Amino acid sequence: MARKPSDRRIIGTALRKIDAVAKVTGTTRFADDLAFPRMLYCKLLRATHPHARVVSIDASAARALDGVQAVLTGKDLPIPFGILPVSQDEHALCVDKVRFIGDPVAAVAATSEETATAALDRITVAYEPLRSFDSAEAAVANPEPRIHDYGDSGNLHKLIDLEFGDAAAGIAEGDVVREDLFFFEGNTHLPMEQHAAVAVWSPDGKLTLWSSTQTPHYVHRALAKVLELPPARVRVIATPNGGGFGGKSDPFNHEIAVAKLAMLTGRPVKITLTREEVFYCHRGRHPTLMWVRTGVKKSGAITGMHFRSLLDGGAYGSYGVASTYYTGALQTVTYNIPRYHFQGARAFTNKAPCGPKRGHGTPQPRFALEVHVDKIAEQLGLDPAELRLRTLVPPNSLTANYLRVGSMGLGRCIEKVIAGSEWKKRFRQLPEGRGVGLACSSYISGAGLPIYWNNMPHSGVQLKCDRSGGVTVFCGSTDIGQGSDSILAYIVAEILGIDPFDIAVVTADTDLTPVDLGSYSSRVTLMSGNAALQAAERARQILAVHAAKQLEVPVDRLQFADGRVFDGNDSKRGMSFADAVQAAEAAAGTVGTVGSYTPPRSAGRYRGAGVGPSPAYSYSACVAEVDVDPETGIVRVPTIWIAHDVGRSINAATVIGQVEGSIYMGLGEALMEEMAYRGNRNVVHKIPSLLEYKSPTTLEMCDVITYLVEDPDPNGPFGAKEVGQGPLLPVMPAVANAVYDAVGVRIDEVPITPEKVLKALRRKAKGEAGRVGPESFPDIPWPEPTRVPTPWEGGDGKAVEQVRA
Amino acid sequence: MGNESKAMIAFTVNGESAEVAFAPHKMLLEVLREDLGLTGTKHGCELGECGTCTVLLDGTPVLSCLVLGLACAGHDVGTVEGMASAGKLHPLQETFADLGAAQCGYCTPAFLLTAQALLAGNPQPTRDEIKDALAGNLCRCTGYIKIYEAVELAAARMRGESAEPTRESLYGA
């Protein structure tokens, strides 16, 4: 019954998204577009100290204000929550202390936003200030006072030490040993939609929350936990997200606050964060200091690598433990690293909490690694493209840290951008001030393990075939603009041979849809896509059996295409898809199927092996061209060439859109975006506005030449791998490497601002090293390493038993 | 709090005359969304920084978060809800949908209206003129490129040319 790939009608084609018309007519209902009769408005009172004990809160004057219906403080919501089971360190409203400026301490529900805002001014909070820390280095140097009363050491939240083979011995075998330091400044998602949520409490004990969240399943769990409600009585509906990029992946304090206020008042309660508050929600890129030492043979072969990272986590755990592991996990999936040692630390500081932003924990080490490789190539006198091509990880292989690489199209990606950019004619040959730089990357297509331990599928789909010929797909996945609803429709349409616009898609509603873990880690096309594929194939099987009987054609000869079911040998012998559903319904009852997806078991068996494994890895190569003005230090990027191995495009136009959007966001991180704070223990966010937080406009955006490389992976639906995050990763190092090609200075930290370029040029003119970047890595109390023999040392993925001294 | 008496204005919204009463401090953004139910107009900052709330005031793009509702009395306001007519999408809406110029769709109404105003005064804008016209609108999803291409394609069609998206635009180089 299987058709040849060439027979595909929908997969790979550029189609409109199924919600495109709603988006261009303004009819998509985002969370803040919802309104209910008698609805109240919620506002949060936020901490004005970066680190302080809450001595007392007096809300009596606020409660007395006409129009105020309820005021909540920390003691009303004492149960902690957090996205990771190991970091349940947040409260909806701070209970005994505040940990950053912007931490919420009280919530008001009133009949108008103006009244709610006025009520905040009438709440008096007495604080007892504590010493605060504005950088990871400060947190390392000062174990007291502790920002949290848990964590691996003082103000260090998490310490990781993993060694795969004897890395020091490996490095020593290199003809060249190179050591570098890098810093990646924090930045934020800046979705155009401000987070919003509306809660409705029904007197029968049911709570419904609409929220601009990427992860309704995790919000569902957090609400049930904190509000002590039976989970079956809690319904979470993720509204279409007006941009997420990882910033709407945590359960948030404001979601819990409106739910509790709705329960107390019996009225619908809405909150829409102001833009300033969105900066306090944050969960963006961790500022990360990195140190790397690598041994390399003259041929370019890497003999060993030692990588250290220190992450500034901000005030709470969020996804931070996973983020920290990710800064060390994916170094091994692009270039062959036979022995590898990773040490990672995450510090708590008194700043808005960091978490997952597009690329989650991998843009920072990828920046370091790709600039480091560029320097190694120069030291060896090799073209950096050639060096990379010589050291590629082979497809279908296991890395030193037990990541299973399937399809691997990086070589083809490099060749595409080298040819397209005329690299060989331009690298080190352009006039002063102009340059080109190359960088590569890889990213996961979903994580191998769920966030909380369970042995259930990561994604589920239910399919209903209607006798009208329409089909409805139910799935817990959340469309954040990336087009995941459309992907479900295309895959089902391909298998059932119907028009994707005849398919209704119901998603992201915990009452109606089977669980999908959420829109993060580039998991949705692969995981919910595979679940949809399985459900559609099962539906096709049911329909085929009954259609075959009616048509008197062997089941194996039936084809599904163009809205018909027909004999592959005689296409006139067939029936409409609707008739096929009716035949099946008449013979066997309502036609519905389910599908689900669980990733393959990962190969690593050591503690920490849960971060990094993925069913499939995408690959990208990028060449950036820059113009550097030596007078002003301004870096302009006219063009970026990007090749991305997406496995297989489900919808080519959507893939191109994700690539261009990733390049855009990477360009912002490379040149201007930074989450900056005023230090000196004041720790106030310097620029919580869209005007002052610089992001690229149409005037800064570069031209993008995109090449899609399709190296299908057997684990992806139709071979598809991720595209939403991977193409962002190589942009920052490609720009940094191009700046060096243009003016001969190394900016070993992002963003590459004009000030840094000028400073490096001045140092170079004085005969010093033309470099701006970190100078040292602090001493960290690393734990005893977990030693894991590599596969080629006969390792089985388990750590060596350690004898504790 | 909220007790101030309402003001009433008469103006034209999407070609229809409308009368609406609202608290006099309200901005056009709030009047449209809260008092007229026209939630197609979005907001990203309410400080005039992002362009997301752009509507047309007498055909000119304005930031509705910075325009007092009262100031619109007697004027003509155009929002995204008025772009399609008789169930038929505006050419810009067609090309934005076909090229994926709307990803999350949140900034889309503002881009559409700004582009509509551009094309009304300049039916054949260059790429640089499009960039200049759209420079006050932020989009975090698309990288703007599909938006430029959609504006160019719609402009060609509005000039009566039978233009189609390029293969490179949809499938890559």
* pLDDT, tens digit, 9 for 90 and up, residues A443-468: 999 999 999 999 999 999 999 999 99
**SS3 call for B150:** helix
Q: Which of B19, B49, B82 is a domain's end point?
A: B82
Question: Which of A274, A664, A708 is opposite residue B172, by nearest beta carbon?
Answer: A708
B105 touching A (Cβ < 8 Å): yes
Q: How far is B145 from chain A (nearest CA, A)?
A: 7
A29 touching B (Cβ < 8 Å): yes
Q: Which two tokens stand for residue A343?
A: 């040490």
- Please give the DSSP secondary-structure letter assigned to residue B34: I
Residue B98 is part of which domain span? Answer: 91-165
Supply φ then ψ for residue A122, to 5 degrees: -100, 10
In a domain, B2, yes or no: no
Closest by CA position to A348, among listed A498, A78, A131: A131
Q: How far is B10 from chain A (nearest CA, A)?
A: 24
Residue with structure tokens 């817990």?
A476
Contact B105 A480 (CB under 8 A): no
CB-CB contact of A653 with A13 (8 Å): no
Residue A563 to residue A573: CA distance in whole angstroms: 14
Residue A785 to residue A301: CA distance in whole angstroms: 25
Beta bridge partners of A176: A296
**SS3 call for B20:** strand
Q: Residue A802's pLDDT is what? A: 61
Q: Residue A49's pLDDT is what? A: 96
Q: Which of B82, B105, B120 is a domain's end point?
A: B82
B80 touching A (Cβ < 8 Å): yes
CATH top class, domain A161-187+284-448+605-772:
alpha beta
Strand order across the beta sheet in which A703-709 lies: A434-444, A617-628, A635-645, A703-709
Q: How far is A444 from chain B (nearest CA, A)?
A: 20
Q: What type of residue sits at position A24?
A: V
Q: Residue A680's pLDDT is what? A: 65
Supply φ then ψ for residue A426, to 5 degrees: -115, -35
Sign of the dihedral defined by the CA atoms of residues A660, A664, A669, A675, in that order: negative
The mean per-residue pLDDT over the stretch A282-294 comes to 98
Beta bridge partners of A156: A153, A347
Query: Same structural domain for residues B53 and B34?
Result: yes
Q: Is B135 exposed, middle or buried (0-12, 13-18, 19+ CB in 10 A)?
A: middle
Asked if pLDDT for residue A770 goes beyond 50, the answer is yes
B14: alpha, beta or left, given left = phi > 0 and alpha = psi -120 to 50?
A: left
Q: Which two tokens stand for residue A746?
A: 């190394």
A653: Cβ contacts below 8 Å, ≥ 6 apart? A14, A15, B99, B100, B169, B170, B171
Closest by CA position to A42, among listed A304, A369, A216, A261: A261
Contact B44 A194 (CB under 8 A): yes
Q: Which two tokens stand for residue A357?
A: 């932003």
Residue A492 to residue A506: CA distance in whole angstroms: 13
Q: How far is A434 from chain B (nearest CA, A)?
A: 22
Residue with structure tokens 């004898």?
A803
A452: alpha, beta or left, given left = phi > 0 and alpha = psi -120 to 50?
A: beta
Asked if pLDDT for residue A1 goes beyond 50, the answer is no
CA distances from A342 to A443, A736, B92, B109 (A): 18, 24, 51, 47
The mean per-residue pLDDT over the stretch A247-256 comes to 98
A37 touching B (Cβ < 8 Å): no
In a domain, B24, yes or no: yes
Query: Same structural domain for residues B105 and B56?
Result: no
Q: Which of B52, B82, B112 is a domain's end point?
A: B82
Q: What SS3 string covers B42-85?
A: CCCCCCCCCCCCEEEECCEEEECCCCEHHHHCCCEEECHHHCCE
Task: Give the nearest chain A residue to B104 (CA atoms).
Answer: A481
A579 membership: H or E segment, kind and range = helix A577-588
Task: State the pLDDT confidence band at A679, using cuts at 50, 70 and 90.
Answer: confident
Rg, chain A, Cα only: 27
Residue A29 to residue A26: CA distance in whole angstroms: 8
Q: Is the peptide bond before B165 cis (omega within 30 degrees of 0)?
A: no
The mean per-residue pLDDT over the stretch A416-423 comes to 98
Q: Which two tokens stand for residue B127?
A: 């790429």
Residue with structure tokens 């995408």?
A618
Asked if pLDDT for residue A2 goes beyond 50, the answer is no
Q: Taking a contact as any Cβ pair under 8 Å apart, which residues of chain B between 3 and 32 contact chain A?
A: none
Q: How far is B9 from chain A (nearest CA, A)?
A: 22
**SS3 call for A655:** helix
Q: What type of residue sits at position A534?
A: Q
Task: Give the nearest chain A residue to B41 (CA atoms).
Answer: A26
- Could you tell me where the beta strands, DSSP code E, fall in A74-205? 97-98, 104-110, 124-129, 156-164, 176-184, 196-202
Task: State the pLDDT confidence band at A3, using cuts at 50, 70 and 90.
Answer: very low
In a domain, B173, yes or no: no
A83: Cβ contacts below 8 Å, ≥ 6 apart? A215, A218, A249, A250, A251, A317, A318, A319, A355, A451
In a domain, B77, yes or no: yes
In a domain, B74, yes or no: yes
Q: How far is B143 from chain A (nearest CA, A)?
A: 5
Query: Same structural domain for residues B20 and B45?
Result: yes
A795: alpha, beta or left, given left = phi > 0 and alpha = psi -120 to 50?
A: beta
The mean per-residue pLDDT over the stretch A96-103 comes to 97
Residue A615 to residue A719: CA distance in whole angstroms: 11
Contacts B107 to A, Cβ<8 Å = 192, 242
Asked if pLDDT for residue B1 goes beyond 50, the answer is no
Contact A701 B83 (CB under 8 A): no
CB-CB contact of A162 with A608 (8 Å): yes
Q: How far is A141 from chain B (nearest CA, A)?
A: 37
CATH number at residue B25: 3.10.20.30
Q: Residue B33's pLDDT is what? A: 98
CB-CB contact of A517 with A458 (8 Å): yes
Query: Same structural domain for residues B49 and B11?
Result: yes
User: What digits encode the pLDDT tens for the residues A541-590?
Assistant: 999 999 999 999 999 999 999 999 999 999 999 999 999 999 999 999 99
Q: Residue B119's pLDDT is what? A: 98
CATH number at residue B161: 1.10.150.120
The structural domain count of chain B equals: 2
Asked if pLDDT for residue A803 goes beyond 90, the answer is no
Q: Taking a contact as any Cβ pair under 8 Å apart, which residues of chain A between 197 and 236 contact chain B?
A: none
Strand order across the beta sheet in which A564-567 lies: A558-561, A564-567, A570-576
Asked if pLDDT for residue A496 goes beyond 60, the answer is yes
Sign of the dihedral defined by the CA atoms of residues A714, A717, A718, A722, in that order: negative
Residue A77 to residue A106: CA distance in whole angstroms: 11
Tell me how many helices (H) and strands (E) chain B has: 6, 5
In a domain, B31, yes or no: yes
Contact B108 A67 (CB under 8 A): no
**Higher pLDDT, residue A805 or A185:** A185
Q: Residue B3's pLDDT is what? A: 57
Task: State the pLDDT confidence band at A795, using cuts at 50, 70 and 90.
Answer: very high
Q: Residue A681's pLDDT is what? A: 63
Kindly report the average pLDDT of chain A as a whole number.
97
Q: Among 3.60.10.10, 3.30.365.10, 3.30.565.10, 3.40.190.10, name the CATH number for the domain at A5-28+457-597.
A: 3.30.365.10
CB-CB contact of A297 with A175 (8 Å): yes
Domain boundaries, chain A: 5-28+457-597, 37-130+192-243+248-281, 161-187+284-448+605-772
Q: Is A196 exposed, middle or buried (0-12, 13-18, 19+ CB in 10 A)?
A: buried
**SS3 call for A711:** coil
Residue with structure tokens 């309704």?
A216
Closest by CA position to A528, among listed A480, A492, A566, A495: A492
B46 touching A (Cβ < 8 Å): yes
Mutate to test the interface with A, among B26, B103, B118, B151 (most CBs of A within 10 A): B103
Beta bridge partners of A626: A435
Q: Taking a contact as any Cβ pair under 8 Å apart, which residues of chain A between 676 and 695 contact chain B?
A: 689-691, 695
Residue with structure tokens 């063009």?
A639
CB-CB contact of B107 with B44 (8 Å): yes
Pairs across A and B, CB distance < 8 A: 201
Query: Same structural domain for residues B98 and B148?
Result: yes
Residue A224 to residue A229: CA distance in whole angstroms: 5
Q: Taking a contact as any Cβ pair under 8 Å apart, which residues of chain B between 145 and 164 contact chain A?
A: 145-146, 148
Asked if pLDDT for residue A6 goes beyond 70, the answer is no
- Could you tell me where the beta strands, DSSP code E, fall in A264-350? 269-272, 288-296, 302-312, 340-347
Asked if pLDDT for residue B40 goes beyond 80, the answer is yes
Residue A187 to residue A287: CA distance in whole angstroms: 8
In a domain, B1, yes or no: no
Task: Check if A37-130+192-243+248-281 and A161-187+284-448+605-772 are the same fold.
Answer: no
Closest by CA position to A169, among listed A760, A793, A680: A793
B112 touching A (Cβ < 8 Å): yes
Residue A720 to residue A735: CA distance in whole angstroms: 28
Residue A190 to residue A121: CA distance in whole angstroms: 28
User: What digits encode the pLDDT tens for the residues B131-163?
Assistant: 999 999 999 999 999 999 999 999 999 999 999
CA dihedral A315, A319, A323, A326 (to 10 degrees): 170
Asked if pLDDT for residue A726 goes beyond 60, the answer is yes
Q: Report the share of chain A in percent with pLDDT over 70.
A: 98
Contact A20 B132 (CB under 8 A): no
**SS3 call for A475:** strand
Asked if pLDDT for residue A805 goes beyond 50, the answer is no
Q: How far is A17 from chain B (nearest CA, A)?
A: 7
Contact A707 B99 (CB under 8 A): no
Q: Is A475 exposed, middle or buried (0-12, 13-18, 19+ CB in 10 A)?
A: buried
Contact A657 B170 (CB under 8 A): no
Q: Among 2.60.40.10, 3.30.360.10, 3.30.1180.10, 3.90.1170.50, name the CATH number for the domain at A37-130+192-243+248-281.
A: 3.90.1170.50
Contact A708 B106 (CB under 8 A): no
The mean per-residue pLDDT over the stretch A351-368 comes to 98
